[in-house]
Structure 1
Amino acid sequence: MSFQVFGLPVSRGVAIGRAVLVASSRVDVAHYFIDASRVATEVQRLRDARDTVASELTVMQRDLPGDAPHELSALLDVHLMLLHDEALTGATRHWIEERHYNAEWALSAQLEVLARQFDEMEDEYLRERKADLEQVVERLLRSLTAQGQPTPAPAVGPRDFGGEDPLVLIANDIAPADMLQFKKSVFTGFVTDVGGRTSHTAIVARSLDIPAVVGAREVSRVVRQDDWVIIDGDAGVVLVDPSPLLLEEYRFRQRQSELERERLDRLRHTPAVTLDGEVVELLANIELPGDAPGAIEAGAVGVGLFRSEFLFMNRDGELPGEEEQFEAYRRVVEGMRGLPVTIRTVDVGADKPLERMSVNELRHEHALNPALGLRAIRWSLSEPSMFRQQLRAILRAAALGPVKLLIPMLGNTSEIRATLEALARARQQLRESGRSFGEVEVGAMIEVPAAALIIDRFLEAFDFVSIGTNDLIQYTLAIDRADEAVAHLYDPWHPAVLELIRRTISASQAAGKAVSVCGEMAGDPAFTATLLQLGLRSFSMHPAQISVIKQQILRADTRRLGASAAGGRP
């Protein structure tokens, strides 16, 4: 039966495909595709896990004390029966062989299918057996985890799995680390239950340039594996099991979007100059060293934000050392072929947690309010050895090309002093060890209202500033940008937000210091004219957005934009 689910539109366009569900589980489940050569190995991992769990259950049943209730032995019989049922293990094997899921993903996908079948049973006793199924699957997942996971194969292409239909991803949420796994894979769009317009999931969706809807509440519960799904990233609507007529209408819209994208692509290497001759700098936000060629291809004149925290994710708590970081930064600098690269020091916390977040190796999600806790520069300063390693690696990369250093979430002068002292110490260590390094311009992110309010002190200490509008809006309006329950209150047009941006741009220009915007507002064409009106001449955004922003700039005449933009929406 066809139905619609509504959420927040975060990445434009239309995606049509069969649903791939990444179900929530009490056990962390790795999700990645395997290539054809590893199918047999993955199936064997599943068999080994089943045999291990069967042995455990048999031993438990054998060792039951004589006075144990009969029901307990009967329950273990049920678990053994479920374990060997072809509806579980046989169908799980299908996901591995046909879709090339890894064993853990295949098992969780089949659990989702069977759990819904149990939910629809009329007999109450049978419905309650779903809990037994979940316990058996959890045992299997733990057994697979104990085996150790093979290193995921490189991302596969859309024709490397068994099916021919396009796929869309449906999940409760997608962690930033998981998005790295999916970044070059087969999905043409995705939908999540949770998230806001500037949650990290939404940001990555825009960087992938694929349609996405977040904050769709119960979408992962009402969509089934392999359902046909339309994702309308413009309207924030998910259409499930659409009629043939509706499918054809959206396929037409898809073709129109592709034609528009091709038209915009022709602007990639056209200089960004307004009608009245104002030159505007369009930079790229990137996350991995391999993103540099794509930034050049998109027409970026440099990297305005390299998010170094992605080097720290998916590492089971082991942080990258200086040499590994230097190699990554070297690849970015050389990949940009002499164009400037701005590297932001690690910005973890809130929606980008690490397995290890402090010297005591406490997990960050235990914080009462991670958005206001030990994150970004606060965490770096609490880990001085790690911080100096990163600074040394960045300074060494600066010997190979133009590099700028950007510090996130600074809020007071004591943090400024501590940061600059750490940088001086890193330089001294490199001199003492005889290693070559280059000079860097040092900048501050303005994303805490306190920083915008004392911007003059920041401009005295730094060479440039970059406005992180995502967090600036979040902290100014006291709204968790990843929480769909308050997403409607997240308002980039709020007069207070626009005033803080205006204040920062005006003060920077008066001090003769460079200023850019690297938050999501820079890549949103609805804000281009307003930011130009406020005096901004440097935008940094996802490479996929450069052409559409350039089109807005080429059509703009800054002389006619007026004197003030602080009055709200145009």
Structure 2
Amino acid sequence: MASFTLHGIPVSKGIAIGRAHLLAPAALDVKHYLIPDDQVEAEVLRLKNAIATVHQELQTIRSELPKEAPPELGAFIDVHALILSDPMLAEVPLNIIRHRYYNAEWALVTQIDGLSAQFDEIEDPYLRERKADIQQVGDRVLKVLTGSAINLPPAEGGDGATASIIVVAHDISPADMLQFRDGAFGGFVTDLGGQNSHTAIVARSLDIPAAVGMNNASALVKQDDVLIIDGDAGVTIVNPSPLVLAQYRARQERMLRDRKKLGRLKKTPAITQDGTEITLLANIELPTDSAPALEAGANGVGLFRSEFLFMGRAGHLEKFPTEDEQFDSYCQTVVSMKGRPVTIRTLDVGADKPLDEDEQTALNPALGLRAIRYCLSEPQMFLTQLRAILRASAFGPIKLLIPMMAHAFEVDQTLALIEQAKEQLRQRKQKFDEDIEVGAMIEIPAAALALPIFIKRLDFLSIGTNDLIQYTLAIDRVDHEVAHLYDPLHPAVLFLLSSVIAMGRKAGIPVAVCGEMAGDVKWTRLLLGMGLLEFSMHPSQLLSVKQEILNSDLTLLEPQVKKVLKATEPSVIEAAMAQLRTLNAEPEIKATAARRR
């Protein structure tokens, strides 16, 4: 069997070795035919029964979750149950059967395709990938309609190298992953997906090696092929040679040993070799993410993406959660963090569909009405969220983070609305933190270049490196045709990052980084050398970053980072970065730092 390599998007670190098990999407088996008039209601009933069966399946999976299961899993099952109950899936396909006479499978696929097209127009990558949840729920119903099984076979393989099963699929849902947990499920490879998909989030939570976004892996890989998933690189090796297999087995064993060592750092303070204390925070999407954040030793939450509360509501963002619903979620989060600060980012989505559906000109939602611009255009919705966050601040330390700031008047209008929300709560005699801190996401180059506007008005800053890089280089990093241009080491990006950190420190205003750079150990020393003292990342990345911090000495890093920042040629920057990664503190410095601690 010929060996070949597939390249995708890394979403969960680790190495998995096993045999391929292909899961075909149910939509591929859908037949299209018209129903006779006298059988329409029977076809409607068939779809209703399939939906009811999936509801029961999800309830069973939810009830059988083990106590030690990450809290995200239950929440994602709940989201799928909500989507399944939504009229956009529970009722519209029934009307398609009644009015167009489509068979049940065809009607369901038609509606899913229509909803998917709407999500493709959303700019925010986290929300855009929610399309996958709708498709996964639809695929589950289709499997019931077509009688397709989704259970894994028992793992086999006498050579000792294939003890695990590697699922290869067009896409895979968190619910499917839970059903596989009792088998020898070693990892998964999918054609679809990205960093922010629910499947990716669950994979990281469960430490399941995975590679997604491989386009045509499910077509190229054959049943029972031997696979190696290199989760760190997002690479899958199909039918590796004995030498490559042996090399990866050795790497796998070494990684398992290293993970055990990392676990010992949970209670160790993040202090550099020269005695500088670094704050490590967690990025979370759900209130129940607090548990893994605490387990990883996070000093608090640096980014709570509140968009999750607005998802899966009648298929549209127009139906907003109530103030009490939001308050309950924010309060649950802040209480569970046991006194550690929680930074809540206000709604970061946008009105990114054309006003006229027949309009042929494609709008650019990245530059349109989104994030704080959208919130200021919907003041009642924004006030509802602000009141909910303020009310939760009575139960623990909360910081308000405003996304996509660029203008002074946006800051002023936001602060005025926060004051209005406070006054409304005073009139209700509801408690809140009168001195709640308010900060801005620095993710637009204009904001980074006009930083005094924000330093003068706000309490803290948080750099969103994902968007800052994207806007600085004018590329969409999820567009495969230009994704290779996404470069954190571009001189313009380095200049903006370093200047924001330096100006913030000079003004005495805290600066954090909450984008992907914060959780990638490749950039830890670079950010430390720029003067960054607060990192916010996914909980699963925290211990690796902490280890890098413990092995770093700012007195050595800072001069080398200056060389990186002065360089403009890519080759010179890479050479300076390579030297930065090899810097080690002298033994006597380590001893001095140890005595300080």
TM-score in terms of structure 2 length? 0.68
- Equivalent position of 2:146 in the other structure: none
With over 3 angstroms needed to count, the CA separation of the structure-2 counterparts of 1:438 and 1:359, relative to structure 1, is: farther
Q: Do the aligned residues in 2 keep the contact of 1:194 with 1:214 (CA within 8 Å)?
A: yes
Alpha-carbon shift at residue 536 of structure 1 (Å): 0.6
Asked whether the 8 Å contact 2:61–2:175 carries over to 1, the reply is no
Pairing 1:214-253 to 2, within 5 Å after superposition: 214-223=212-221, 229-240=227-238, 250-253=248-251
Contact 1:410–1:444, Cα closer than 8 Å, also in 2: yes
1:401 to 1:491, Cα distance in 2 relative to 1, 3 A: same
User: Where does residue 484 of structure 1 map in the other structure?
Assistant: 480
Tell me how far apart the structure 1 counterparts of residues 198 and 526 of structure 2 sit (CA, whole Å). Answer: 24
Correspondence 1:341-490 to 2 at 5 A: 341-348=342-349, 368-439=363-434, 440-490=436-486
**SS state of the match for residue 482, structure 2?**
helix
Alignment of 1:100-179 (within 5 A): 137-139=105-107, 163-165=153-155, 168=166, 170=168
Change (3 A) 1:446 1:247: same
Q: 1:16 to 1:376 in 2, by over 3 A?
A: farther
The alpha-carbon deviation at position 409 of structure 1 amounts to 1.0
Q: Is the 8 A contact 1:208 1:544 kept in 2?
A: no
Query: Do the aligned partners of 1:272 and 1:281 also contact (CA within 8 Å) in 2?
Result: yes
* DSSP-derived class of the 1:406 partner: strand
Query: Quick check: 1:192–1:215 contact (8 Å CA) kept in 2?
Result: yes
C-alpha distance in 2, partners of 1:246/1:480?
35
- Partner in structure 2 of residue 57 of structure 1: 35
Counterpart-to-counterpart distance in 1, 2:207 and 2:165 = 15
1:384 is displaced (CA, Å) by: 1.6
**SS class of match (1:504):** helix
| Distance in 1 (alpha carbons) for counterparts of 2:404 and 2:282 | 20
* CA distance 1:424–1:190, shift in 2 (3 Å): farther
Provide structure 1 residue ranges, at least 5 long, that are not aligned to the other structure.
Answer: 28-48, 63-79, 81-88, 106-133, 154-159, 350-355
Matched, 1:296 2:281: no
- Name the amino acid aligned to 1:310: F
User: Post-superposition shift, 1:223?
Assistant: 3.7
| Aligned twin of 1:493 | 489
Taking a change above 3 Å as real, the CA distance of residues 312 and 209 of structure 1, as seen in their structure-2 partners, is farther
Residue 542, structure 1, aligned to residue 512, structure 2: no
Deviation at 1:210, TM superposition (A): 3.7
Q: Distance between the aligned counterparts of 2:474 and 2:199, measured in 1?
A: 20
Query: What amino acid is aligned across from residue 266 of structure 1 in structure 2?
Result: R
- Name the CA shift for 1:22/1:161 in 2 (closer, same or farther; >3 Å): closer
What is the CA distance between 1:260 and its match in structure 2? 1.4
Are the equivalent residues in 1 in contact too, given 2:354–2:363 (CA < 8 A)?
Answer: no
SS in 1 for 2:522: helix
Does structure 2 retain, via aligned residues, the 8 Å contact 1:346–1:380? yes
> Contact 1:183–1:208 (CA<8 Å) still a contact in 2?
no
Give the whole-Å Cα distance in 2 for the aligned partners of 1:253 and 1:527.
23
1:507 aligns with 2:503: yes
SS of 1:481 mapped into structure 2: coil
Please name the residue that 2:86 is paired with.
Answer: none
Q: Distance in 1 between matches of 2:474 and 2:295?
A: 38
Structure-2 separation of matches of 1:423 and 1:22: 50
- Match of 1:264? 262
SS at match of 2:35: helix
Structure 1 position 4, deviation (Å): 2.8
- Write the distance in 1 (CA, Å) between the matches of 2:340 and 2:356: 38
Indicate the residue corresponding to 2:15 in structure 1.
14
Contact map agreement 1:21 1:225 (CA 8 A) in 2: no
2:278/2:534 contact within 8 Å kept: yes
What's the counterpart of residue 42 of structure 1? none
Look up the SS of the partner of 1:378 in the other structure: helix
The structural deviation recorded for 1:243 is 7.0
How far residue 378 of structure 1 moved from its aligned partner, in angstroms, is 2.0
Cα pair 2:530 2:558 within 8 Å, conserved: no
Provide closer, same or farther for how the CA distance between residues 503 and 376 of structure 1 changes in structure 2, counting only shifts above 3 A.
same
Distance across 2 between alignment mates of 1:493 and 1:162: 43
Query: 2:481 aligns to what SS in structure 1?
Result: helix
**1:33-88 deviation per Cα after TM superposition (whole angstroms, max 9, x unaligned):** xxxxxxxxxxxxxxxx99xx98x5344999xxxxxxxxxxxxxxxxx9xxxxxxxx
Deviations 1:496-532 (A, max 9, x none): 1111011101111111101111111111111111111
Report Cα offsets for 1:380-432 as digits up to 9, x if no partner: 22222211111111000100001001011111112212211221111111112
CA drift of 1:200 comes to: 9.1
Q: Deviations over 1:306-345 (max 9, x none)?
A: 1111121222233221111111111110110011111111
2:478 and 2:320 map into 1 onto residues whose CA distance is 26
Residue 162 of structure 1: how far off its partner (Å): 5.9
Q: 2:309 aligns with which of 296, 299, 311?
A: 311
Which residue is equivalent to 2:327?
Answer: 326
In structure 2, the CA distance between the partners of 1:476 and 1:4, relative to structure 1 (3 Å rule), is same
Q: Which residue of 2 is the match for residue 352 of structure 1?
A: none
Match of 2:71 in 1: none
Question: 1:249 offset after TM fit, Å?
Answer: 5.5
Cα distance in 2 for partners of 1:195, 1:489 equals 20
Contact 1:10 1:233 in 2 (8 A): yes
Overall identity of the aligned pairs, in %: 51
Cα distance, 1:222 vs structure 2: 2.7
Q: 1:167 to 1:236 in 2, by over 3 A?
A: same
Relative to structure 1, the CA distance from residue 429 to residue 518 in structure 2 (aligned partners, 3 Å threshold; closer, same or farther) is same
Give the structure-1-normalised TM-score: 0.71
Q: How many residues align?
A: 468
Amino acid at match of 2:514: C
Question: What are the Cα deviations for residues 2-43 of structure 1, in whole angstroms up to 9, with x where unaligned?
Answer: 54322344543213454454749599xxxxxxxxxxxxxxxx
How far off its partner does 1:142 sit? Answer: 6.4
Query: Relative to structure 1, is the Cα distance of residues 184 and 290 closer, same or farther in structure 2, using a 3 angstrom cutoff?
Result: farther
Aligned to 1:520: 516
Alignment of 1:173-188 (within 5 A): 186=181
Give me the whole-angstrom Cα distance separating, in 1, the residues matched to 2:292 and 2:334: 14
The 8 Å contact of residues 516 and 540 in structure 1, kept in 2 or not, is answered as yes
- Following superposition of structure 1 onto structure 2, how do residues 6-85 of structure 1 map, counting pairs within 5 Å? 6-16=7-17, 18-19=20-21, 21=23, 23=25, 57-59=35-37
Distance 1:304 1:144 in 2: 35
Counterpart CA distance in 1 for 2:475 and 2:179 is 32
CA distance in 1, matches of 2:38, 2:526: 68
Matched residues in 1 for 2:215 and 2:354: separation?
Answer: 36
1:173 Cα deviation (Å)?
Answer: 6.8
Any conservation in 2 of the 1:340–1:401 contact (CA below 8 Å)? Answer: yes
- SS of residue paired to 2:344: strand
Distance 1:322 1:226 in 2: 51
Name the CA shift for 1:209/1:518 in 2 (closer, same or farther; >3 Å): farther
Worse overlay, 368-377 or 278-287:
368-377
Q: State the shift of 1:180 in Å.
A: 9.5
In the alignment, structure 1 residue 556 sits paired with structure 2 residue 557 = no
SS of the residue corresponding to residue 525 of structure 1 reads: coil
User: What is aligned with 1:211?
Assistant: 209
Separation of aligned partners in 2, 1:409 and 1:24: 40
Q: Which amino acid aligns with 1:283?
A: L
